[in-house]
A = this chain, B = another copy of it.
Amino acid sequence: MAKLIDLKTFTDKRGNLTVIEKSIPFDIKRIFYIYGVDESRRGGHRHHKTIQAAICIQGSCHIYNDNGSEQQEFVLDKPEKCLILEPEDWHEMFNFTDDAILMVLASEYYDHKDYIFDRY
């Protein structure tokens, strides 16, 4: 099952700083960010090994998660709201607002053999 966590954010008169350090359950090997998305659904796969953390740094999007026995839907709409995605859960991202920037941190380097395209 996917799980939301709150990222530590320091706000003062100069602005906001959100930090990710030891707060997610893996070492970060890969980062990607998705932006300028139209009405497409992204994701649509599972993994063998890769754990991921997803944060919508700006705007909002929805994430659907299915671990084979439970289906969840999350709205990511704050830069300090982080969704931890388990490797074998099927996940899809959709309903991106025009200004959405979705950042994803991954526990593994890219490996096409780590992707599973059979959904539950």
CB contacts (< 8 Å) of A109 on chain B: these are 21-22
- A36 on the B face (CB < 8 A): yes
CB contacts (< 8 Å) of A31 on chain B: these are 19-21, 28, 31, 105
A120 to chain B: closest CB distance in Å? 24
A5 to chain B: closest CB distance in Å? 14
Chain A interface bracket (under 10, 10 to 19, 20 to 34, 35 or more): 20 to 34
Check B27–A42 contact: CB distance below 8 A. no
The docked-state distance in angstroms from the alpha carbon of A42 to that of B22 is 23
CB contacts (< 8 Å) of A16 on chain B: these are 34-36
- A87 on the B face (CB < 8 A): no
Check B32–A17 contact: CB distance below 8 A. yes
The docked-state distance in angstroms from the alpha carbon of A14 to that of B18 is 28
Check A79–B33 contact: CB distance below 8 A. yes
Partner of A17, one of B15, B20, B33, B79: B33
Pairs of residues from A and B, 9 with the lowest C-beta to C-beta distance, nearest first: A15-B37, A14-B40, A21-B30, A19-B32, A20-B31, A15-B36, A28-B28, A16-B36, A17-B34
**Apart from the given pairs A19-B31, A21-B110, A31-B105, 5 other A-B contacts in the complex at a CB distance below 8 Å:** A15-B34, A15-B42, A21-B31, A33-B57, A103-B103
